[in-house]
Amino acid sequence: MNEVEIFEVGPRDGLQNEKRLIPTEEKVALVDCLSHAGFRRIEIASFVSPKWVPQMADSGDVLRRIKRRDGVRYAALTPNLIGLNAALVARADEVAIFASASEGFSRANLNCSIADSLTRFAPVMQAAGQAGIPVRGYISCVSDCPFDGPTPPAAVARLAGQLLAMGCYEISLGDTIGKAVPERIDMMLRAVLQEVPARQLAGHYHDTGGMALANIEASLAQGVRVFDAAVGGLGGCPYAPGASGNVATELVHEWLTGMGWRTGLNRDVLAQAARMAKDMCRGEG
């Protein structure tokens, strides 16, 4: 089957670092538009401290106000039990935890070691399991770290295996600073596939260096069939200097369909959502 799923992260990862504080109603309108594009999963919220990510302070309101569409799961980032409980109250369909394959980025992003981050996630996993909520795991810096340099593939594989063992249903592998090249992605995936089957992996490749599509192609060759993307190509990470620019959903869709893959997405709706996202960030929403 020539099917590939694009996991839309624009309403969360795409908007979280925008300097303009985007009104809740504009975020809701964007999600409602994306809900008609054919996505199975859309990440729209992040229950982290508003002190660190003020753009996501209205995540609960966004989840409560969207027009939910059958067949679409609405996801939220939840780093701790407080975040998980808030996501449950707001009726998130699934949640995500995020770890780093490099110690330097873990300390910058989570203010703790990799081992300590897993300890913190344990009660989140337990509570989500009791609530029947699926948990996705994110791994940052799978190729390069802005603090530690190149990331050893074995470190990514070890962490991916640990997250799978904790109960994550899928592991998203993030090229956080957009420096990865296909050869490095191939090496990383060969290591990770010793711990996690391809059907439970996703690629999250920033296009900062213009290599996202090439890295997706390398991942397809290794059996990966899910890729994260942000409508309009917006977003990045506040703790990774120069990492702005998730690969654009509409670009990935066009490239995949041109290669003969089916995404199930509506090109016209994607174009409309991309315009909305860009206008929002320019203050024209």
- Reading the block at residue 263, the tokens are 């995404």
pTM score: 0.95
Taking a C-beta distance cutoff of 8 angstroms, is the pair 83, 50 a contact? no
Q: Which of 26, 12, 6, 131 is nearest to 75 (CA)?
A: 12
Query: Where does residue 43 rank: exposed (0-12), middle (13-18), buried (19+ CB within 10 A)?
Result: buried
Sign of CA dihedral 208, 226, 24, 51: negative
What range does the domain containing 225 cover? 5-282
Amino acid residing at 70: D
What positions carry a catalytic annotation? 237
Cα(284)–Cα(57) distance, integer angstroms: 21
Name the strand (E) or helix (H) holding 75. strand 73-77
CATH code, 80: 3.20.20.70
Lookup result for tokens 């890295």: 215
Phi, psi of 227 (to 5 degrees): -140, 135
Token match 């174009």: residue?
271
- Contact criterion met (CB below 8 Å) for 156 and 192: yes
Q: Say how many CA atoms lie within 13 Å of 128 toward its Cβ.
A: 33
Relative orientation angle of helices 103-110 and 114-131, to the nearest 10 degrees = 60
Contact status, residue 138 vs residue 163, Cβ threshold 8 Å: no
Q: Could you tell me if 133 and 92 are in contact, meaning their C-beta atoms sit under 8 angstroms apart?
A: yes
Question: Could you read off the pLDDT tens digit of each residue along the chain, which spans 285 residues?
Answer: 699 999 999 999 989 888 889 999 999 999 999 999 999 999 999 999 888 899 999 999 999 999 999 999 999 999 999 999 999 999 999 999 999 999 999 999 888 999 999 999 999 999 999 999 999 999 999 999 999 999 999 999 999 999 999 999 999 999 999 999 999 999 999 999 999 999 999 999 999 889 999 999 999 999 999 999 999 888 744 434 444 579 999 999 999 999 999 999 999 999 999 999 888 877 775
Number of domains in the chain: 1
CA distance 41 to 162: 24
Residue 80, token pair as written in the block: 């701790």
Q: Which residue has the tokens 């260096």?
A: 209
Q: Which residue reads 């300097």 in tokens?
A: 19
